[in-house]
Structure 1
Amino acid sequence: MTSDPGAACEVKGVGVRRIALFDLDHTLIPFDSDYEWGEFTIALGWCDGQEFKRRNTEFFAQYQAGTLDIHAYVRFATQAIREQGAINSIAAHARFMREIVQKGLQDSALALVRRHQDAGDEVVIVTATNEFVTRPIAAALGVGELIAVELERDADGQLTGAIQGTPSFREGKVVRVQQWLADRGWDWDTVETTFYSDSLNDLALLEKVTHPVATNPDERLRAIAAGRGWRILELF
């Protein structure tokens, strides 16, 4: 176990393409961005606060328990931005970045990302949170490659509340990373991968990569990581 971000980087083979994959919520940032965005919309008066908070808390508990219906959650989570429209939603998210996200960015997380980048690694954030919420956060972390839940749009470019393609959630993260690799002419056998995650929901991808790193892990993931001899990183 280590609290040193630099110690999390494995010594890599020369000439091997290296990819550092990062979960986002509770891994690179010390909160759940989707949950906090929901709380922020309550403060804006965009929804019935009591009912939204009840359902948001319920969905969050399901996520932690590994029982979340990601399609039902995305319909719920995007309702406010669909009703408000793009202009209001983008402006509100800029406030969310200033008032919530920027204050939560940790030097230790930024240093770990930079260390991989300085080593020449491809750095990718792989998150089960939707692209609207997470793309500006990835940019704030200095990461250009984002695999997130993609939101379906209708013929007029308006969000429908549905997910486009495979959601990057649980086993879907493996599928989406594999698609990302294939788009670049790579596959699992020709790259060396490291994945940082806090959650048991990401077990499938942790088992797939070369170097799994349980990062700020929940109790269940911590127990699995300890039993399998995986690196455990206390980043925060």
Structure 2
Amino acid sequence: MKLVLFDMDHTLVPCDTGTVWNGFLARRGLITEAQHEQRQKFLFDYQAGILDMEASYRYELGILQLFPKEEREELLQEFFDLVIKPAISPKAIAQYEKHRKAGDFIILITATVEDIAKPVAEFFGVDYLIATRGKINEAGEYTGEVEIEPCMGRGKLVHLEDWLQKTGNNPEHYTFYSDSHNDMPLLEQVDVPIAVDPDDILREIALANDWQIMSFVN
């Protein structure tokens, strides 16, 4: 098996979906402007490498908890159809299809909460989605806690290893596409790390290590 891993935000999707999702809700008056600004601050902290992950995911899951399961799913699908889908680059789709035609096993691996990432995974038709999972109670509602640990930074490696152990898969070759230096724990472990529209730190690392640099921007 040749395993291909795609990060989601700023890689397959040209934005931070969590922040844009909050903007979508704010424009509809479903959350306050102050709540949206708090989500933007979490994004800035993430980019700076100083994110309080626990506070960030507590906030993210808290927003999802505002809506009953059925309403939440409808809103998330509408958000994807109206906002995210039109923004996905033909270049991103073409690169994905290249691996699909080659018969590679494709995983979307993202720090984003699973419910927000699902429509993207379904659109591309990935073989598996690895995302941050919120704990769900018997009624199908979020408890506000995260399962395992956030799928961010080193957490992506933890989640991938957990999947490999549970499935018994032993890929012979790994490729990982990412835009962020926060993904270095996983980028350093794969056979082919590819920097996609990388942040400044990842660009420097990619150039220093002769990693491929790509752009999915139209």
Residue 205 (structure 1) shift: 0.4
**Other structure's SS at 1:84 match:** coil
Provide the TM-score with structure 2 as the length reference: 0.95
Report what 1:56 is aligned to. Answer: 39
Residue 127 (structure 1) shift: 0.2
Report what 2:158 is aligned to. Answer: 175
Residue 180 (structure 1) shift: 1.5
Match of 2:84 among 93, 98, 101: 101
Query: Structure 1 stretches of 5 or more lacking a match?
Result: 1-16
Match of 1:46 among 8, 22, 30: 30
Contact 1:46 1:80 in 2 (8 A): no
Residue 89 (structure 1) shift: 1.2
Structure 1 residues 173-219: Cα deviation after superposition (integer angstroms, max 9, x where no partner): 011111122222234xx520000000011011000101100111011
Match of 1:232 among 209, 213, 216: 213
Query: Structure 2 stretches of 5 or more lacking a match?
Result: none
Letter in 2 for 1:59: F
Correspondence 1:110-129 to 2 at 5 A? 110-129=93-112
Distance (whole Å) between structure 2 residues aligned to residue 62 and residue 87 of structure 1 = 32
**Other structure's SS at 1:223 match:** helix
Distance (whole Å) between structure 2 residues aligned to residue 152 and residue 168 of structure 1 = 14
Residue 134 (structure 1) shift: 0.3
Correspondence 1:18-97 to 2 at 5 A? 18-49=2-33, 51-97=34-80
Matched length:
217
Letter in 2 for 1:199: S
**Other structure's SS at 1:100 match:** helix
Letter in 1 for 2:183: D
Report what 2:173 is aligned to. Answer: 192
**Other structure's SS at 1:61 match:** helix
**Other structure's SS at 1:156 match:** coil
Provide the TM-score with structure 1 as the length reference: 0.88
The runs of at least 4 consecutive aligned structure 1 residues that moved more than 6 Å come to: none
